[in-house]
Amino acid sequence: MIHDVAVIGAGIVGSAVARELSGHRVSVALLEARDDVGDGTSKANTAILHTGFDATPGTLESELVRRGYRLLSDYAQLTGIPVEHTGALLVAWDQEQLDALAGLRDKAEANGYHRCAIVDAAEVYRQVPHLGPGALGGLTVPDESIICTWTVNLALATDAVNRGTTLLTGHRVESVSRRGDLTTLGTTGGTVRARWVVNAAGLGADKVDALFGHRRFTVTPRRGELIVYDKLARALVDKIVLPVPTSRGKGVLVSPTIYGNVMLGPTSEDLTDRSATATSETGFEFLLEKGRVLMPELLAEEVTATYAGLRAAIDHPDYLIDTDAEQHYLLVGGIRSTGLTSGMAVAEHVRDQLLSAGMELATRTDLPDPPAMPNLGEAFPRPYQQADRIAADPAYGRIVCFCERVTEGEVRDACHSVIPPTTLEGLRRRTRVMNGRCQAFFCGAEVQALLEGNRS
């Protein structure tokens, strides 16, 4: 089969691009090197829906994060992606940071966000009473929110498939050749031919770009390690607590999660190994040192999990989205962690770039409704709490993961969904199963049996 467009990478950005393009009368293939969507950079981040208040004004990133915030907020309401509008507070711990708050407020204004306010130390401790001693002041960002990044990715990919996108997992691109109007992609899953190619390969975007003959950027995997504390710690913090950002990133934060936990992190470490998602002793020491200053009471709470994610840092100050009209090739590079928020806006921008390059994109009028996603958010009703749902289907009353209160019905539904899980980790991202205090020690065998039984 010859596709009109092949999108490489089924993370949030690639899935959003495939969804957007399949809303037009073109055939789309979504290629993913791994065995599941959202199994790379998109699965392991701080899961914050950003207003874009601290982006560099005038950049493409600033524009697309601002637009993406509105698009994803609306899409979350349509699909049931859980979002909590907690707000955020940037905390200044010394005079230099305190003096920087006015500049950050001005930057927010320049980015079109007008709700930041500078507050004194008394207000900081009124809002976050368990904060460590020594804060001098803060900057409020009322519209920063927490979101389920797993559900965002799965919703966009599911929507794309429902619209007709062909999802090809296990298709790592290894070669590119072009003859006439067609590009042939040699992948680990077979040959794919397309008239246009969109490279949204994240950590591998520069390598795919090189297959098209370009040498314009280099991806540096930047590891961010995080510590997740038990749900009993949630009473300590009800909003995102941010440091004053630096040139290397937003720094170490304390944040509630959509699943009811509290998160401390991330670190920021440039590596060479693009698969180095293991946590480290030095990373934990760094986070605990920061945590003792930010919120010492948090360190007395039990740790539920630790994890690390890799961000695709590039040697370019902005998003790198560029079209090669002659090769019918479009690069989407350097999207970094803000891609969670900006993904849907990036997809719109890609659509417009393709139109400008001469691609015909006739809008469809027969689109299916957006998918209804299962709720993974602790602040919203879960199946085990819904008597009417249990009465209609007792499987929603049979809990298999007691830490996270995940039911047999939810596991079954995930296994029979449009994009079913192929592994226990994929099932975890779809249901929260095995994500709690025991980390599958109690429920792992039963969950494995359910996964295998529902696949047979």
Asked if 174 and 189 count as a contact pair (C-beta separation under 8 A), the reply is: no
Based on the domain organization, do 3 and 44 belong to the same domain? Answer: yes
Neighbour-count burial of 381, counting CB atoms closer than 10 A to its CB (0-12 exposed, 13-18 middle, 19+ buried) = exposed
Based on the domain organization, do 262 and 387 belong to the same domain? Answer: no
Query: 246 pLDDT exceeds 70?
Result: no
Asked if 396 and 279 count as a contact pair (C-beta separation under 8 A), the reply is: no
Among 261, 291, 314, residue at a domain's last position: 314
Q: pLDDT at position 263, please?
A: 97
Band of pLDDT at residue 169, cut at 50, 70 and 90: very high
Query: 452 pLDDT exceeds 80?
Result: yes
Query: Which CATH number do you get for residue 195?
Result: 3.50.50.60
Based on the domain organization, do 172 and 307 belong to the same domain? Answer: no
Closest of 346, 37, 275 to residue 167, by C-alpha: 37
Q: In this structure, what token pair is assigned to residue 56?
A: 């560099």
Based on the domain organization, do 60 and 188 belong to the same domain? Answer: yes
CA distance 23 to 25: 7
Q: pLDDT at position 93, please?
A: 94
Q: Which amino acid is at 220?
A: T
Half-sphere exposure of 389 (CA within 13 A, CB side): 14
CA distance 122 to 277: 40
pLDDT above 70 covers what percent of the chain? Answer: 99
H-helix or E-strand spanning residue 60: helix 60-79
CA distance 128 to 126: 6
Mean pLDDT for 94-111 is 96
**Domain total of the chain:** 3
Q: Using one digit for the tens of pLDDT, what is the confidence trace for 375-409?
A: 999 999 999 999 999 999 999 999 999 999 999 99
CA distance 133 to 121: 10
Among 375, 393, 417, residue at a domain's last position: 375
Q: Does the predicted model carry a pTM greater than 0.75?
A: yes
Based on the domain organization, do 228 and 333 belong to the same domain? Answer: no
Q: Which amino acid is at 102?
A: A
Q: Using one digit for the tens of pLDDT, what is the confidence trace for 185-195?
A: 999 999 999 99
Based on the domain organization, do 280 and 210 belong to the same domain? Answer: no
Based on the domain organization, do 301 and 340 belong to the same domain? Answer: no
Asked if 15 and 344 count as a contact pair (C-beta separation under 8 A), the reply is: no
Among 326, 359, 375, residue at a domain's last position: 375
Q: Residue 89: which domain range? A: 85-143+220-314
Asked if 266 and 225 count as a contact pair (C-beta separation under 8 A), the reply is: yes
Based on the domain organization, do 225 and 298 belong to the same domain? Answer: yes
Closest of 92, 11, 58 to residue 337, by C-alpha: 11
Q: pLDDT at position 336, please?
A: 85
Q: Strand, coil or helix: what is 278?
A: coil
Asked if 301 and 230 count as a contact pair (C-beta separation under 8 A), the reply is: yes
Integer CA distances (angstroms), 191 to 85, 180, 210, in order: 44, 17, 19
Q: In this structure, what token pair is assigned to residue 252?
A: 């170490």
Query: Which CATH number do you get for residue 260?
Result: 3.30.9.10
Could you check whether the bond before residue 374 is cis, i.e. omega within 30 degrees of 0?
no
CA distance 153 to 140: 29
Mean pLDDT for 348-375 is 97
DSSP class of 254: E
Rg (CA), the chain: 22
Half-sphere exposure of 82 (CA within 13 A, CB side): 18
Based on the domain organization, do 345 and 245 belong to the same domain? Answer: no
Query: 248 pLDDT exceeds 60?
Result: no
Q: Using one digit for the tens of pLDDT, what is the confidence trace for 290-314?
A: 999 999 999 999 999 999 999 999 9
Based on the domain organization, do 51 and 115 belong to the same domain? Answer: no
H-helix or E-strand spanning residue 378: none
Chain CA centroid to CA 20, Å: 18
Q: pLDDT at position 45, please?
A: 86
Neighbour-count burial of 144, counting CB atoms closer than 10 A to its CB (0-12 exposed, 13-18 middle, 19+ buried) = buried
Query: 95 pLDDT exceeds 80?
Result: yes
Closest of 153, 142, 218, 193 to residue 2, by C-alpha: 193
Based on the domain organization, do 176 and 119 belong to the same domain? Answer: no
CA distance 134 to 126: 14
Q: In this structure, what token pair is assigned to residue 289?
A: 């040192």
Q: What average pLDDT does the chain have?
A: 96
User: Residues 6 or more apart from 366 whose CB is under 8 A from it?
Assistant: none
Based on the domain organization, do 229 and 309 belong to the same domain? Answer: yes
The residue with tokens 């993904």 is 343
CA distance 87 to 240: 6
